[in-house]
Structure 1
Amino acid sequence: MDKGSKINGYILMFVVFGGFLIFGFSENVKGPAIPRMQFDFQLDESQLGVLLALNSLGYLVACSFTGLLSRKIGIKWTGILAFGSMAISGILMYLSTNYATLSASYFLMYIGNGMLEIGLAIMAARIFTRNTGTMMNLSHFFYGLSSMVAPIIAASMMGWNVMGGELGWRGMYLIMLSLSILPIIPSLLGRFPQEEHSQEERISLGSLVRDPVAWLIVAILSFGVVSELAVGSWLVNFLEKAYGWEVDKAAGMLSAFFLFFMLARLFLGPITDKIGYTLSIMIFSAFSGICSLAAIFIGEKGAILFAIAGAGIAPIYPTVMALIAKRYPKGTDTAITFTVTLMGIASVIGNLLIGFIIDGVRRLFSSEGGGDAAVGNASIIGLQAGYGFIALMALLCSVCCAILLAFLRKQRREMIELQSN
């Protein structure tokens, strides 16, 4: 490799790693900011719900066109457009004067986030052609790192004194999203690998729809990601209401989850390359599901197992991206778009199901009567059922991996038999 190629490789790595770092910040600074937004605009809970729903909508809209866009204008300019739209959304958020303008700027931010997630996955698949599992997990380590510190940094920044007043959520978003400009500079300088296959050679969307392996990969990613994202939404709530923990203590356990999560992405990547992507996901997701179930059954003394489960769930997303890159080298962008779009829909449904399960089980047990103590027990049982569903998602992810392994081995045997005849 000549010196120029080596320098270009470092530039592209900076874009991918920096992109994941900024992606984590943009997605996870909202926790401390949302209560202040709600206060400033006097939003009721339904308006806040609509605002948050724009996250999923913007993400799904971006998923629907990013793969096509990358083929039309190239992955380089797709990434630059994603970074630029996020920076512009920060300016619009700073200038927002009412609920409508805030919603519009939030929607644009999540369009940029969705484009960035798909774009970074395509970039990484093209750049990291060797040790793909290791490099994919390392890339997502930077997302985990920024996700872990983003709420702390955001809360601190909003209290900064700037020109005689607090920086607030507007200034915080303006500064944090302005960081999106930084990866644009190396993006302009770098030479990105292009799709090497002609249109005729590329795998089509129709081929993916007819491919049972593609649907198994969708199921694996969907179950794994629902389990992963649900922890951030429900763990603190579970610990506070089921065990009576203070918010700081419960938030500390969530931070511990993200610590195990981050370290797993840093250190477990080489294992995925060594023993195989599908087998790795099967083992890690089973470990996560068993840890979560054990934590529920043991009770408060086993709460640390909720955090340790993060080590199992963390490698799933990046390892599935590596699996897609290996399985569909002739049209990785199409395969990633297909998989991640369906995963996004499944994530919305999964989180809705968790809420319905908690409420449904609580109502079922509280309807039997017995006073306040019975109502309290019913609430705890409902929370346990909801969190049990999160554990079940991880276990189903593992089961789907086992089915995929069996299917691929059968395909391999049939191919060997055809070649020998």
Structure 2
Amino acid sequence: MKHTRLTFAAFVVLMVGLGSSDSLRGIFSPVFSSHFALSATQLGLIVTVSYIGNLVFLLVGGNVIERFEKKKALLALTGIWMAALAVFAFTDNYYLLLAGMFCAMGASTLLNTTLNLVTPLLFASSPAFFVNLLFFTQGIGTSGSQSLLGRYATDIGFWHKTNLVLLALGAAAVLLLAFSTVPGPRADGPHPAKRQSGVLKNRAALPLVFVFGFYFIAEHGVMNWLVAYATSGLGMEQAKASNYLAVFFGGVMLGRLVLSPLVDRLGILKSMGVFGSLSAVLYIAGVVGGAAAMPLWAASGFFLSILYPTLVMSIRLFFPHGQVAGAAGTIISVASLFDILFNVGFGRLVDTLGYGVSIYVLPLAMAAFIITFLAFSRGHGKEQQKN
């Protein structure tokens, strides 16, 4: 039990750091633009490189880490993440910034996914509660950094100092991990490339790619476009629109804390069906109803909160133990292409058709997510194990 607490403490420290690190790109965008004299295209390349990092690390790394003990894999990934933080802290070059973003976001996403898969092995009696609690702590890092750093992120010097603080947090996580016992032995057997081929042959792989892909569009669409739609499409004041976004992500944080015990009681797939349906109803009604229904859209974050971590947990229901990390990496990386294509195309759609029509892509994605998931879960019959 002592080792379990120490291991989970290491995970918590790491997730707070990852949550904070992931939010810095948006917070410091104006600083990057001014300091490096970036065009809009060059500033946008920072986001694009981050997504490519996610794609590469998940697609390749998810299968590679199966060949190593999970503790060694976590330490190696944390080392890559910290190396990127060191680049941010000690260099002052746009191209090194891009390289750092590739490694930082890629390692962060793969760490996030790996922790999601390892945590249930620590807490067999209530895995969903602790997975969602872990994501709650990540939310503290994300929202806390947005609230605190947003006030002081005025120059490149503060960017360097912020990454030094995150480096110290990463060092604390490494120290805790070094004395922890992380479950999940190295997977012996086929080469990672062969195991990846086995993942793609599994009949659950393709439906899960679509489930994750539609979900990414729905959730990330809120983060990237709710304020722009509310202000430019509905004529709402910036402060009011930002409040709705804050309520949405506040609901995500609160929901992970409040709803996670219910996931353990209901089981993974049933929880996804219940809370996914509730969030879809509020989400779709909130968009279709226009300005008057914006509170419903914001409130959907509460039920949407547990969907992603629980969805990642569900992968282990459909793949052999030795394939789970590789399956998660492959499925999430391929699904992230939905996200990339959406972000490339949605802006052009707005320029062509306006927000009034274009915004319906989001509720359509949410509807496609829940319909695809329900069809997929029913097609696989009863849940093999309740957790």
Cα 1:312–1:351 shift into 2, 3 Å: farther
Q: CA deviation at 1:186?
A: 1.0
Task: Check conservation: 1:60, 1:114, Cα contact below 8 A.
Answer: no
Counterpart among 347, 355, 367 of residue 339 in structure 2: 347
In the other structure, the counterpart of 2:88 is 93
Shift of 1:185: 0.8
2:139 maps to which residue?
144
Q: What is the SS of the residue equivalent to 2:216?
A: helix
2:31 alignment partner AA:
R
Structure 1 residue 192 corresponds to structure 2 residue 182: yes
1:226 is matched with 217
Task: Name the amino acid aligned to 2:325.
Answer: D
Paired letter, 1:406? R
Comparing 8-17 with 340-349, greater Cα deviation is found at: 340-349
Query: Is 1:408 aligned to 2:380, yes or no?
Result: yes
Cα 1:15–1:328 change in 2 (3 A) is farther
Cα 1:355–1:166 shift into 2, 3 Å? closer
- Look up the match of 1:242: 233
Q: Which residue does the alignment assign to 1:104?
A: 99
- Paired residue for 2:365? 393
Residue 185 of structure 2 aligns to a residue whose secondary structure is coil
Is the aligned partner of 1:251 residue 2:242?
yes
Aligned match of 2:162 in 159, 172, 181?
172
Match of 2:44?
49
Pair member with larger Rg: 1
**How far did residue 262 of structure 1 move?**
0.9
Deviation at 1:350, TM superposition (A): 2.8
- Counterpart check, 1:328 vs 2:300: no
**Aligned match for 2:125, one of 117, 130, 145:** 130
1:177 to partner: Cα distance: 4.3
Contact 1:225/1:347 (<8 A) preserved? yes
Decide whether the 8 Å contact of 2:251 with 2:302 is kept in 1: yes
Gap regions ≥5 residues in structure 2? none
- Distance of 1:353 and 1:284 partners within structure 2: 29
CA contact (8 A) 1:264 1:314 kept: yes
1: CA distance between counterparts of 2:211 and 2:50?
23
Q: Partners of 1:114 and 1:267 in 2: how far apart?
A: 24
Residues 357 and 314 (structure 1 numbering): CA distance in 2 closer, same or farther, change over 3 Å? farther
2:318 aligned partner, one-letter code: R
Question: Aligned in 2, Cα 1:299/1:204: closer, same or farther, shift over 3 Å?
Answer: same
- State whether structure 2 residue 299 is matched by structure 1 residue 287: no
TM-score, length-normalised on structure 1?
A: 0.83
CA displacement 1:216-236 (0-9 Å, x = unmatched): 222222211221111110111
Alignment check: 8 A CA contact 2:113 2:312 kept = no
The amino acid across from 2:172 in the alignment is L
Instruction: Specify whether residues 387 and 133 from structure 1 end up closer, same or farther in structure 2 by C-alpha distance, changes over 3 A only.
Output: farther
User: Higher relative contact order by CA 8 Å / sep ≥ 6: 1 or 2?
Assistant: 2
Return 5+ residue gaps in structure 1 as ranges. Answer: 1-5, 160-164, 363-382, 413-421
CA distance in 1, matches of 2:99, 2:186: 38
Which residue of 301, 310, 317 corresponds with 2:301? 310
Deviation readout 1:253-287 (Å, 9 max, x if unpaired): 21111111111111112222222322322332332
Contact 2:59 2:333 in 1 (8 A): yes
Are the structure 2 counterparts of residues 394 and 282 from structure 1 closer, same or farther at C-alpha, using a change threshold of 3 Å?
A: farther
Q: CA–CA distance in 2 between the matches of 1:112 and 1:207?
A: 24
Distance 1:128-1:329 versus aligned 2 partners, 3 A rule: farther
RMSD: 2.5
Cα 1:195/1:21, change in 2 over 3 Å? same
Residue 311 of structure 2 aligns with an amino acid whose one-letter code is V
> 1:172 is aligned with what amino acid?
T
Q: Confirm or deny: 8 A CA contact 1:285 1:313 kept in the other structure.
A: yes
Which amino acid counterpart does residue 121 of structure 2 have in structure 1? R
Residue 49 of structure 1 deviates from its aligned partner by 1.3
- Check the 8 A contact 2:208/2:331 in 1, yes or no: yes
Equivalent-residue separation in structure 2 for 1:411 and 1:273 (angstroms):
13
- Tell me the SS of whatever aligns to 1:78: helix
Query: Which stretch shifts more, 346-355 or 74-83?
Result: 346-355
Percent identity between the two aligned chains: 20
Check 1:384–1:21 CA distance in 2 against 1; reply closer, same or farther (3 A cut): farther
Instruction: Say if 2:117 and 2:313, in contact at 8 Å, map to a contact too.
Output: no
Normalising by structure 2, report the TM-score. Answer: 0.90
CA distance in structure 2 between the aligned counterparts of 1:148 and 1:242, rounded to whole angstroms? 26
